[in-house]
Structure 1
Amino acid sequence: MMPAEDGQGARPRGHGASARGAPARGELPPYSYEPLKHRWELKLNFMSGVTLGPWLSFLWTHWRDIDWGLFWHRVAFLTCMSVVNTLLSAFDWLLHSRAVAAQPLHPEPLFILGHPRSGTTHLHNLLSRDPAFAFANTFHAGFPSSFLALEPARGLLAGLLAPTRPMDRMALSWELPAEDEIAVNVLSGCRVSPYAALVLPRAWRAAGVAAGGAPGGGEAVEGGSRGAAGGGGGGAGAAGSSGRAGGGVVGLRDFLDWEWEWEEEVESEEGAAAEHQAQGEEEKQQQEQATRREAQRQRQRPLPAQQRSGGAAAAAGQDAGGGAGTGTGMGAEGHPVAAAAAAAAAAPSRQSPHQRRRAALRAAAFEEWLASFMWFMKKITYRHVRLQQQRTAAATAAAAAATAPGCSGAQPPPPAAAAQPPQPPMLLIKSPVHTARLGTWLRLFPRARFVYVHRHPLEVFQSAAHMANTYYPYTYLQAPDDATTNDFIMDQYELMYSSYASRRAAVPPGRLVELGFGELEADPLAALGRVYEAFGWSDRWPAVAPLFGDYSASLADFKKNQFTSTVYVAAGHTARLLATHVPNPPTAG
């Protein structure tokens, strides 16, 4: 069943665990969802581009977590697609892998940040009209392993899409901009992206909540296949690194905010010198005590006559030598390599086996996520550069043909200049989960720019719940209950905004612009003009403003979802949403 015309997506009937939080004042119950409404659909599944290796790894790790009786046909479909994708990806790998690996990235990407359903897609579509940007479109994100070879035939795969997006009825095509995190999730086989929660929704809270820890932190229990809300499955984690038993050690919420990876690194570096120094002092004291005991034994031992006269001096020499030797061993204390080695050696002694396993899995997950992200960004850049080279070559050939002998008034072309490698284009990057990774982006791209789109939190929740009821059922391999879906929306909101709010002050001046959804909706050109002015791109504005205006005009007849009072936000959710909302966001940072 598709949503009603007024955008009323989730029915206010309430059941299961989510109903326990309903107010007792005769108000409507919390959101309720229909996870099986698109059970038999195979289209609109963002895992359609997965290759065989990651897919088999996913099945090996999570075969107990899949609701086979409900979604066996999706597993069969994705398995067939993985075989086809693997064959096609071989062409990309053989023909382009070296060039992609060597492709430099522009040092100043533009990130679009904001919670899902806050206007990020609208801004993404607008900014993608600027030809200065390179971006991932829907086909690239859906088929990241094979899009270079497969793109000319993308029309053959049109059946995998719908004419419009189910959550808002916006037009959908392979050419529209898309979220890069989809590609990361596909490349990793749902191992290191929070988007895996749209495939295995019960895995979202299985690890952290089982241990009573905070989102993304604290201890977690192993054995993700045991029990979760709704029965039949649980934790998902770094499957490729952890193996079948590791699902519950690292939860999906760990992959939303990678800040713990940097924080643990900093803490390790800061504590290494102190730990090494304390360990050295203790070893020195132990060595001195051992030396004194040995000297005492030597004094009490009968010695030959020729050695008795030098016994005291020998003992004194040993005593001094022990101390000197120990002190010399501390000479490399301040060396960074030595400090890092000391930290690596000392860390296991301070951690339990479970903590060491969790830290290793988290580090492996971050490395896999980062490798997948950087590879995809390089591939997008390479594709854009290659396309520009082809266009330049075509223009040069046309100019040469126009100046060929026999053409009246033709002027000979100027001498060909030495070929210069084209400059990489600026990347336009948008995935809502990136909102929680602001610190990570500042470390990876210190000169990056950011546009953050914000919207009233209650409207965000209503729209996010509507999307969960209209789109998520196309991707499920598990059927969540109402509480699981509500928890996912609320946890994601809190994690994104708390992380963003705590780190936005670190963005250098002139590198962050914050837009209200109402501002973007009411006058897109004025909002974009403010962005270009803040970033020092005013010279480009006269050329791109008509492009933005044309796109805005094409949306004149579009009607966004209108949520009525029957789409209810529970009182407990309202308090959490308002508590984590970023107050009084500045217009530019």
Structure 2
Amino acid sequence: MQLPKHSSRGRGRAHRVFHPLCGATLPTLARLLVRGGVAPQRLHVAALAVAMAGLRLPFTVGEAAVTALHHQDDGLPAPVFIVGHWRSGTTHLANLLSRSPAFGILSPMAVGLPAEALGLARIARPFVEQFFPRNRLIDAVALAADLPQEDELAMANLSTLSCNHGIYFPHRLREAFDRGVFLDAVGAPELRRWIASLRGYVGKMTRAAGRPLLIRNPANSARIPLLRAIWPEARFIHIHRHPAEVYASSVRMFSTLVRELSLGRPDANIEALVRHVYPRLMTRLLRDTAALPAGRFAEVGYDALRRQPLAVLERIHAVLELPGYDAARIGFSDYLDEVRDYAPRTRRPDPTSWPAGEHAEIFRSLGYALPDDAPALAA
């Protein structure tokens, strides 16, 4: 039977009904809705999420039971984590590296239905993928079932600890980022539950893939010591981009996400959030990566990756002693051909709108000169 086709307009607006929280577990969703506060005009979205969580409950319980029976972390390869502030090029790097057969990925269905990733998500995939937007909400980057997604999307549906919850409930935006990214004021029991959820999810997806997972997530940039405590053999790749470009693009991205995904009041000071998060996250990231041993950390610049992608990918493989570069080279080249025509939108920001002076040490640490004016920046 052929499934009906849906218009590109319907694809682009499906998230307004089928919210990301439609994949949340029932206990997580109940806590978030009680704590978050849903605006009257969005009550139907919250009601649908609750209904879907209830309908999925047998699959949720069943997969948890099967996973527990086969749970064994011994011998599983540690993930390769791609870190860097939002809008620094983590997606482009992850999409490229995902073309290597040496890595497993977290697919859109696996992060959208994390508690049922190995069961219901696979059954429902042909139906759900009809509603996938062709491009991301925040830019013209293509979305596809075989491209990697952030584990933060999964953890937002499995746990009460995620910065994404601030996007869904913007009146708690800064609190959600302080707790979800920097783990501020997070009690030991809640942190243990979050670690157990992350370890269990990554473990079952690694076993299913049969190879190391490639995980990109800007929020992980502030969690490197914790991730190393869970996976001592983990490798990290930090990709960075000019701070002025990151600042301007992050403001635009978070503004779009809040507007489209908010279940509460969509009023939030996005510029204040980026001014708060950017220096804190980058300072912690630079400090923690400096302590990583040889063979566990590689750093790349977004501009260098765009200019000489294959050379940069070869260097990453050499520095981290990753297998399979020669076997993956054709896949890398094919993906580069697919995105050859993609060009980031540019905008000329007000030179006073991004606090370059406040980030002088970060500019220097990343090798960027403090600009005297504001050139056109990639958005």
TM-score, length-scaled by structure 2:
0.86
The 1-side partners of 2:80 and 2:30 are apart by 35
1:559 counterpart = 2:368: no
Secondary structure of 2:223's counterpart equals: helix
Which residue of structure 2 lines up, in the alignment, with residue 511 of structure 1? 296
| Cα offset, 1:97, TM superposition | 3.4
Residue correspondence of structure 1 range 317-356 to structure 2 within 5 A: none
Match of 2:69 among 94, 98, 115: 98
Alpha-carbon distance change, 254 to 458 in structure 1, aligned in 2, over 3 angstroms = same
The 2-side partners of 1:254 and 1:153 are apart by 33
Percent identity reads 27
Whether the 8 Å CA contact 2:167–2:257 is kept in 1: the answer is: no
Match of 1:119 among 89, 93, 99: 89
The 1-side partners of 2:238 and 2:75 are apart by 22
* Unmatched 5+ stretches in structure 2: 1-12, 369-379
Max Rg structure: 1
The 2-side partners of 1:454 and 1:552 are apart by 19
Aligned length, in residue pairs: 355
Q: Which amino acid aligns with 2:21?
A: M
Secondary structure of 2:277's counterpart equals: helix
1:535 counterpart = 2:320: yes
Secondary structure of 2:215's counterpart equals: strand
| Cα offset, 1:577, TM superposition | 4.1
Whether the 8 Å CA contact 2:20–2:112 is kept in 1: the answer is: yes
Residue correspondence of structure 1 range 220-299 to structure 2 within 5 A: 252-258=177-183
1:466 counterpart = 2:252: yes
Secondary structure of 1:452's counterpart equals: strand
Which residue of structure 2 lines up, in the alignment, with residue 5 of structure 1? none
Cα distance per residue 1:48-100 (max 9 Å; x no partner) = 211222212222333xx33x22322221221222122323323323444311x
TM-score, length-scaled by structure 1:
0.56
Q: Which amino acid aligns with 2:201?
A: F
Which residue of structure 1 lines up, in the alignment, with residue 58 of structure 2? 87
| Cα offset, 1:453, TM superposition | 0.3
Q: Which amino acid aligns with 1:193?
A: S
The 2-side partners of 1:97 and 1:444 are apart by 18
Q: Which amino acid aligns with 2:165?
A: A
Which residue of structure 2 lines up, in the alignment, with residue 235 of structure 1? none
The 1-side partners of 2:336 and 2:107 are apart by 19
Which residue of structure 2 lines up, in the alignment, with residue 499 of structure 1? 284
Secondary structure of 1:583's counterpart equals: helix
The 1-side partners of 2:154 and 2:96 are apart by 21
Which residue of structure 2 lines up, in the alignment, with residue 576 of structure 1? 358
Cα distance per residue 1:358-410 (max 9 Å; x no partner) = 6xx5212211211111011011012223xxxxxxxxxxxxxxxxxxxxxxxxx
The 1-side partners of 2:327 and 2:291 are apart by 32
| Cα offset, 1:493, TM superposition | 1.2
Q: Which amino acid aligns with 1:146?
A: E
Whether the 8 Å CA contact 1:110–1:429 is kept in 2: the answer is: yes
| Cα offset, 1:451, TM superposition | 0.9
The 2-side partners of 1:133 and 1:41 are apart by 32
Which residue of structure 2 lines up, in the alignment, with residue 546 of structure 1? 330
* Unmatched 5+ stretches in structure 1: 1-37, 207-250, 261-357, 386-424
The 2-side partners of 1:513 and 1:140 are apart by 27
Which residue of structure 1 lines up, in the alignment, with residue 153 of structure 2? 182
1:153 counterpart = 2:124: yes
Whether the 8 Å CA contact 1:490–1:577 is kept in 2: the answer is: no
Alpha-carbon distance change, 50 to 431 in structure 1, aligned in 2, over 3 angstroms = same
Whether the 8 Å CA contact 1:497–1:581 is kept in 2: the answer is: no
Whether the 8 Å CA contact 1:52–1:79 is kept in 2: the answer is: yes
Whether the 8 Å CA contact 2:17–2:45 is kept in 1: the answer is: yes
Secondary structure of 2:239's counterpart equals: strand
Which residue of structure 2 lines up, in the alignment, with residue 42 of structure 1? 17
Which residue of structure 2 lines up, in the alignment, with residue 437 of structure 1? 223
| Cα offset, 1:141, TM superposition | 0.7
The 1-side partners of 2:73 and 2:131 are apart by 31
Which residue of structure 2 lines up, in the alignment, with residue 55 of structure 1? 29
| Cα offset, 1:256, TM superposition | 1.1
Which residue of structure 2 lines up, in the alignment, with residue 109 of structure 1? 79
Whether the 8 Å CA contact 2:108–2:148 is kept in 1: the answer is: yes
| Cα offset, 1:40, TM superposition | 8.9
The 2-side partners of 1:137 and 1:39 are apart by 18
